[in-house]
Structure 1
Amino acid sequence: MTASVAPQSTGARTLAPRRPIAPDTRMWDETGLITFSLTAGSAFLLQTMEPTISAVVDRHSTFRTDPMGRAVRSLASVMMWIYGGDDALAEADRLRHLHASLNTTDADGVRHTALSSGPWAWVLHTGTFAFTGSAEYFSRRPLTAAEKEAYFQETLQLMRNFSVPAKEIPASYAEFQTFFADTVANHLVATDTARDYLRVIRSVAPPKQLPRALRPAWKWAVTPIGRLQYFVTVGTTPEVARQKLGLTWTSSDERKLRALGWLIARTVPLLPERLRYFPIAYEARRLERDRQRLRKMIDMRPL
């Protein structure tokens, strides 16, 4: 195992108090979109290439035996991080408590601890990469440097909520880019966990409770979705990581991904909000509008 790579500079920063993600943020507007599971695939892949995360996932995760259940639970948890209000902090605490005992020793005798600060932070750093990177394909226009910096500043609150130490947090988006590229090049490795993750998303096994008679129909329905998820995941993963995993990506593939992104960027915004967002995100956004309307009526009341 290579040594953990830490950001070169964290600046003289006092971390903000833990608090829920605010409704007036880009994170609030975009994390809950139904395209999340598609565009976040590269984040999960990069996590499984981190040696400690890979070892812990290999030992404890059910992603191979219950991929649908694992995916649904993970998605619901991420939605709670952003839209759960005060329960978002409870969810972060629940995850830290859950991971406190998820430790293992690999075949080389190296002990891996799930809550080691570098790997714990890497989970959230891959989310920052996935969001800014996928915007290059799935937004109507690429993010500007200022927008990327603004989004990065929003992620600081999420990292604070998950008790990520300041030493693991770059001071700016520019520093994050340098740190991220260095980590991908010099710390991530091709793991069996990463290869298995790619295999699983390409051909998702049916839920355990699905009757055997319905499994052919499941395969027929899910196979195109799995191929799409695999294609987008590989395409939005950094080239250095692709090379480590022996994945090929051609100029033709790149053109297809950009065409797909162009279509999605112009189709999804046309959907009704109830269909555009996952249920937790939709209900949180609806509740926030109701709160704002109530606040407005209270402010306008006769005195």
Structure 2
Amino acid sequence: MSTEARLPAVAPLGPDSVAWRVVGDRRLLLGAGTALLLQVAHPVVGAGVHDHSNYTEDPWGRLDRTIDSLLCQVFGGREATVEAERLRELHKAIKGVDHHGERYHALNPEAYWWVHGSTFWTTVRMQEVFIHPLSHNEKCHFYAEWRRLGLLLGLREHHMPEDLEGFDAYFDDVVANRLEDNHTVRELLHSITMRDTPPPPWWFLPEALWRPVRPAGGNVLTLCAIGLLPQPLRDRLSLKWTDKDERRLRRLGAAMKVAGNRVPERLRLYPKAYRTKRG
């Protein structure tokens, strides 16, 4: 059966979309830790990552593949359908029994949608702190586009809240009643500190030079990962967050906004986003 027959026909996102404007910016990388923490705090996602992912052995490769996949979904045109099918095939084998003794499957619509939906929430939060806040109207359009991508990924209309207001209520409910502290959350929090992380393979950076840089990078990633989380989840994970931390995050956000306005688009955007937008 062809890919087109397996997944619904969904028009690809184009240059008139909010997603094209916001997703390709490299500054969104600062929100990666938050997105991942939101995801693995879901018991199904946390169990699947713990049992089947190699992100602790290959953190840079895993990050690269995740970003490439997201960029393909947003900017890939017809390639987005192929990528959606690849993701579903990949997740078919991810199943097992979690630490509660419950069976899980990565294609469980509740968990599959949570991964997609929490990425939307994190992107909006990143825009607010590090780039430029979206207006209510822009967020409504962006959410509608994200639902279209959800359909492309194989979710159904009833799996996803109908509008932004419904999503906000859904998100708050999941944070309050579904997310948990677990082994994968703790592994990820350690990984974000970068204490054991090798230098990125695409940089010519010997270990001797990487060693003094690594703590600063870990501090920034940890500040962003914890600071961007919703407060109820920070409390549940017993993550310390002080007024001083909040001021540091705000200063970093202000610096990123200024820097982003001065960096040329070809450097500020990921190559796939830049090439696609340039046409």
Distance in 2 separating the partners of 1:137 and 1:207: 27
Within 2, Cα distance between the matches of 1:283 and 1:209?
Answer: 23
Q: Quick check: 145-154 or 183-192, which moved more?
A: 145-154
Taking structure 2 as the reference length, the TM-score comes to 0.91
2:147 corresponding residue in structure 1: 156
Q: Based on CA coordinates, which of the two structures has the bigger radius of gyration?
A: 1
Q: Residue in 2 aligned with 1:10?
A: none
Q: Deviations 1:245-278 (Å, cap 9, x if unpaired)?
A: 1101112211221121111112112211110111
Q: Is the 8 A contact 2:44 2:98 kept in 1?
A: no
2:54 corresponding residue in structure 1? 62
Matching residue within 93, 101, 120 for 1:101: 93
**C-alpha displacement of 1:150:** 1.8
Contact kept? 1:268, 1:276, Cα under 8 Å: yes
**Structure-1-length-normalised TM-score:** 0.84
CA distance in 2, matches of 1:55, 1:207: 28
CA deviations 1:214-272 (Å, max 9, x no partner) are 32322323332222111111100011111111101112211221121111112112211
Cross-structure match for 1:73: 65
CA shift, 1:164, in A, is 1.3
Contact 2:28 2:126 in 1 (8 A): no
Distance in 2 between residues matched to 1:67 and 1:36, nearest whole Å? 17
Secondary structure of the corresponding residue to residue 274 of structure 2: helix
Cα separation, 2, equivalents of 1:248 and 1:62: 28
Residue among 213, 217, 220 paired with 1:225? 217
What CA deviation, in whole Å up to 9, does each residue of 1:195-217 have, x standing for no partner? 1111112115116979xx93232
Distance verdict in 2 for CA 1:208–1:222, change over 3 Å: closer
Question: What is the DSSP-based 3-state SS (H/G/I as helix, E as strand, rest coil) of the residue aligned with 1:246?
Answer: coil
Contact in 1 for aligned 2:124/2:139 (Cα 8 Å): yes
Q: Determine the C-alpha separation between the residues in 2 that align with 1:217 and 1:139.
A: 30
Larger displacement relative to structure 2 (16-25 or 107-116): 16-25
Partner of 1:132: 124
In structure 2, what is the equivalent of residue 187 of structure 1? Answer: 178
**Counterpart secondary structure, 2:206:** helix
Q: How many Å apart are 1:25 and its aligned residue?
A: 1.2
User: Hey, what's the Cα distance between the residues in 1 that align with 2:55 and 2:40?
Assistant: 11
1:248 aligns with 2:240: yes
Give CA deviations for 1:158-196 in whole Å, capped at 9, x if unaligned: 111111122221111111111100100000001110111
* One-letter code aligned to 1:117: P
| Contact in 2 for aligned 1:34/1:276 (Cα 8 Å) | yes
On the 8 A contact 2:176/2:233 being kept in 1, the answer is yes
